A and B are shown apart, each in its own frame.
Chain A
Amino acid sequence: MIGLPHYLLLGAFLFSIGLFGVLTKRNAIAVLMSIELMLNAVNINFVAANKYVAVNDVTGQLLAIFVIVVAAAEIAVGLALIISIFRQRKTVELNDFNLLKW
């Protein structure tokens, strides 16, 4: 009874929660965490689609692995940036990172 649409719905919900976090959180680290949620939602879709649709193929799972790799790289660099900014401005509030404006 549980099928592919349910997995996709789970992914959609997870993605939306992450999106909400990205758009509304004040803390830069929280935004990074929300991005991880979105990436995980994508991974669920990839793996579920792979397991339901493609019989003798692993491309979906392979893509999930690459997403994980990129996510790891992203979180490392992202945290490094936040640390660097924190050192300059003594805050992690995104609202204050508005130097680049008109």
Chain B
Amino acid sequence: MFNISAFSLYDAVFIVIAGVTLLAALGVVLLPNIIYSALSLILTFLGVAAIFFQLNSGFIGVIQILVYAGAISILILFAVMLLMNIEPGRTNLPTTRLKALFAGGGITAMFLTALIAAIGFTKWPQLQLITTDNSVEMLAEAMLGDYVIAFEAAAILLLASVIGAILIAKGVQEK
């Protein structure tokens, strides 16, 4: 499978990006300080965005950076700052319930094994990456054409979640 002569720059870039992304993701889960976890999460988002660029999907990559690495990360950071009432180094520890820890680890391992097995057992045809990228026009047509109802529904969902978030976070005024 591993053929050094077929090894191209594209592949090397992919391996680097994927490695960084996975390491950053592990950091999110394993670092004991939630601030570092959040920063690591931003790195993961950027890595995923890089994967999107690698896949010739620039538009999704840009959205990924804007929405995830920009907006959501900042939101999370704000929440973290707001809610920290203990020393920072103990903010992101694994659960105290050992049974849950082992069960969670076990089931994750099994899930990963199952997914790898599923990918490995599948006979993949020889597929080539589509290099042209006119996806912005097509996305626009699809979103305002066939999928316009879903588009509107998503808009209403966002509106509802914004109002809901404000109401919930504000809390009920005690009279």
Residues of chain A whose beta carbon lies under 8 Å from any beta carbon of chain B: 1-10, 12-21, 23-27, 29-30, 32-34, 36-37, 40, 43-44, 47-48, 50-53, 55-59, 61-62, 64-66, 68-77, 79-84, 86-87, 90-92, 94-95
Q: Which of B63, B105, B166 is close to A24, meaning CB atoms less than 8 Å apart?
A: B105
CB contacts (< 8 Å) of B169 on chain A: these are: 79-80, 83-84
Residues of chain B whose beta carbon lies under 8 Å from any beta carbon of chain A: 3, 6-8, 10-11, 14-15, 18, 21-22, 25-26, 28-29, 34, 37-38, 41, 44-45, 48, 51-52, 55-57, 59-60, 63-64, 67-68, 71-72, 75-76, 79-80, 82-83, 85, 91-97, 100-101, 103-105, 107-109, 111-112, 115-116, 119-120, 122, 124, 127-130, 135, 138-139, 142-143, 147, 150, 154, 157-158, 160-162, 164-169, 171
Whether B97 pairs with A95 at a CB distance below 8 angstroms is: yes
Whether A4 pairs with B124 at a CB distance below 8 angstroms is: yes
Q: Which of A1, A23, A27, A91 is close to B7, meaning CB atoms less than 8 Å apart?
A: A1
- A81-B75 Cα distance, complex, nearest whole Å: 13
